[in-house]
Every structure is written in structure tokens, then in C-alpha cells.
Structure 1
Amino acid sequence: MKKLAIFDIDYTITKKETLMELFKYVIKNDKRNVRFLPRAVFSGLMYSIKIYDEKKVKETFLKFIDKIHEKDLAELVKKFYDEKLQTILYEDALTMMKKLKSEGYDIYLISASPEFYINEFYKIKEVDKIIGTKFTFKEGIFTRKMEGENCKGQEKVRRLMEVIKNEKIEVDFKESYMFSDSLSDKPLLDLVGKPYLINYKKNHQIEILKWK
């Protein structure tokens, strides 16, 4: 049976929210993209007053890369990882991955962030599987349309179980780990025998780890 060490990404293994960092990176590299800032603010406002759900927010927010060619997007996110993402990783998260990998755990990253850029985290040699929110491409062009549901909460569990079923693997969840900064991941935290909250600011019955 496999033992998993599951990690959320934003604010769990990274110090910042990665989708916003992508937006800032795109603006930094072409100041003309600042024209998308009002749309970003608007989508956040619509979410805060519960008019947009998270799916609608992401589809609206991603206008700044709308209709980009798949190969151009691949080049963009490669540079984004090399120049930004890898610089905002918690060293303690990487240390934990190395430790658990050496103890025979498979390392899974499961995030609500888009797969088209979090797949760059496969560059961390310990990572075995990445599961994130999927977006569609039509004839090689990015469409901003989410494929399925936002990979958050219970959807993370559903997607994990889908992978387990498709790959015909058996998992010892009692001996598995889950690391997250947020109780939105409670479905996954409840699934494993070894749950941990990362840099959580309130007291909680789940053990809290301070990562830097």
C-alpha cells in the first residue's frame, strides 16, 4: 500500500498566492497588461459580495492570458517558475518533502490553483503527482473556461480518489499526511491520519507547524 504526503500549495508550500503572483509577473514583463487590473479588482469585488463564485472569479480574472497559444503559455509559465515561483517556496516545506520521500511516501500537491502553471512544481524532484484546477484549450488556444469544478474542499478529495481509481493504487490513509494553511482543506485533513495546519493563526485541535 502507498503512503501519501499531500500538500496544498498557496500559503502552504509558498509564501504568497501564486495566481496573483502570475498576474503581477505578466504585468512586470509587459506594463501594457496593467489594463487588466480593473477587471481583477472587479472580479474580487463580485466574489466578496457573493455574486461570483470562485469558478466565475477565476474565469473572469484570467482575461490577462485569454487566447494565448498553448506553447506560448508553456514558455510563460516556465519562466514564471524559474524567475518567481521557486523563490517563494518555504524551505521547511521542501525539507519536509525530502524527509517524507526518504521514508517511502509519495508526494502529492493538490491545489485550487490552475494546473497549467502549478505543473511546473514537477521540477521539485520529490513531487510525484500534481492535481489542480483544469482549464480548457481549443485548437491550442487558452479559453479561460474551467474544465469541471474548482479544485477546492471536497472536490480535492474527489479528484484524489479519481486518480487513485484510475491508477489502480491502494492507499494507507491512516499513515498518510496532509499539510494545509486553511480549514477549507478539512475534507482532506480529515481523510488522513496525520493532518497538519501550516502557519495557522488560531488555536486548533489539529497540530500547527510554523514554516519559513
Structure 2
Amino acid sequence: MDIYILFNTLCMINLAVFDFDGTITRKDSFLGFIRFSHGTALFTGGFAIMSPYLLLWKLGILKNGNVKQRVFGWFFKGMDYGRFQELADRFKHRISRMERPDIMEKLKEHVLQGDQIIIISASVENWIRPWAKQQQIEMVAGTEIEVKNGVLTGRFSSDNCYGIEKVNRLIRLFPDLSSQRNNYHITAYGDSNGDKELLAYANKGHYVG
């Protein structure tokens, strides 16, 4: 083997990047958290009220992120942040029951190989992080919520972490990717259209839908 290639291989930074909903989990955690925090009756009633916006999204008139923020705001605007985070911490036990065994095996393989594990999701970071901490995963990038004076405003403080925003968030975590992309080997896992750009950016992109 050429000594230059060998040196580059040994110095390569290996990243394993996982989408969350539908990839690590079998179900959508955004919907799951709303049901968990508000109960089935309010969950059903809330989505009935939100149904016109959901229809406009399905018709392509409204963007995914806009509708998602409206739904989030309807359920969580005005909630005390401490209460919200308490619910998010408790939700990790529900997430554990939603795990996909095949992807959890892949995740463990990457850990054993010494790869850096990153979760990048369109879901809200607050309920992903407690579960990730149980798995010794420190790097999580997701949609961020806006809090003022200890209360949720119902808005997001970041762009919806979907599509190209997933690549942007990965580069924010590893700024050297912008100028030294060849120093990184990225393996990515996703299950939906929102992961296409991330899978294309990776050296190895795995569609697991």
C-alpha cells in the first residue's frame, strides 16, 4: 500500500450518522411525545383542529417545517420549560420500546469500531438527548425550541432539521468538513426523503426504510 494512502487511512476520522425517527425508532417520536405528554384525547382533538394545516402540507401548499411548528405551538406554547424537560426526560423509556433492533446492532458495531456516533433528526433535541445519553451518545443535533423567561413560546429557535439542514448541522458540529472533507469517512443511515441530502453527502449512505 502506498505510504500516503496508509497515512491518510490511519488519520481518517470515522463518523457514523443516524437519523432518529424511522431509523433508530420504529415510530415517529414527535407524535409519540405529544401523545405521551398530553394523553390520547387531547392528542386526537388537537390534530383534528390542526387538520386543515396538515391537508395544506399534504397538497404541497405549506412546508413541512411550518406545519410542524404550528402543531408544536398548539400543544406546547406557554408550557413551563422545566415541566417540558421533565416530560422529555421521562419519555426516554418510551423511546427504548420503539427501538429498531437491526439499527441498534449497527450502532453498536460502529461503537466497537471506535467511530464517533452522531444523531441528526428533525425531531426536537430535548427528548432525544436523554435517550442518547443512556447510549453514551453525546452528539445530537435536532430541531431546537424557543424559550423565553422559562416558558416555551411554541416556536422553533432553529430551522427544521430536515433535508439539507441535516448536512448543515453536521458541518456545524465538525467545521473542518467544509475545508478538509477528505479527512472524514462518513457512514449515514436514514429512512425518508428528509435524509436524502445527508445520505448523498456521506461516503456510505444506507437507506433503511
Tell me the CA shift for residue 142 of structure 1: 0.7
Q: Residue 204 of structure 1 corresponds to which residue in structure 2?
A: none
Tell me the CA shift for residue 97 of structure 1: 1.2
How does 1:1-212 map onto structure 2 within 5 Å? 1-28=12-39, 31-32=41-42, 34-62=44-72, 63-82=74-93, 84-165=94-175, 175-199=185-209
Tell me the CA shift for residue 15 of structure 1: 0.3
Tell me the CA shift for residue 33 of structure 1: 5.5
Query: TM-score with structure 1 length normalisation?
Result: 0.83
Q: SS state of the match for residue 56, structure 1?
A: helix
Structure 1 residues 65 and 172, CA, compared in 2 at 3 Å: closer, same or farther? same
Give the Cα–Cα distance (whole angstroms) in 1 for the partners of residues 175 and 159 of structure 2. 19
Tell me the CA shift for residue 31 of structure 1: 4.2
Runs of 4+ displaced beyond 4 Å:
30-34, 170-174
Residues 66-106 of structure 1 show CA distances to partners (whole Å, capped at 9, x for unaligned) of 21111100111112222x11100111222211111110101
Give the Cα–Cα distance (whole angstroms) in 1 for the partners of residues 64 and 101 of structure 2. 29
More helix by share: 2
In structure 2, the gaps of 5 or more residues are: 1-11
Q: AA paired with 2:47?
A: L
2:13–2:184 contact (8 Å) kept in structure 1: no
After superposing the two structures, state which structure 1 stretch, 45-54 or 55-64, moved more. Answer: 45-54
Residues 118-160 of structure 1 show CA distances to partners (whole Å, capped at 9, x for unaligned) of 2223233242310001111011111111223111111111111
Tell me the CA shift for residue 112 of structure 1: 0.8
Query: TM-score with structure 2 length normalisation?
Result: 0.84
1:6–1:179 contact (8 Å) kept in structure 2: yes
Q: Please, what is the CA RMSD of the aligned residues?
A: 2.5
In structure 1, the gaps of 5 or more residues are: 200-212
2:21–2:121 contact (8 Å) kept in structure 1: yes
How many residue pairs end up in the alignment? 197
- Aligned-residue sequence identity (percent) comes to 25
Tell me the CA shift for residue 23 of structure 1: 1.9
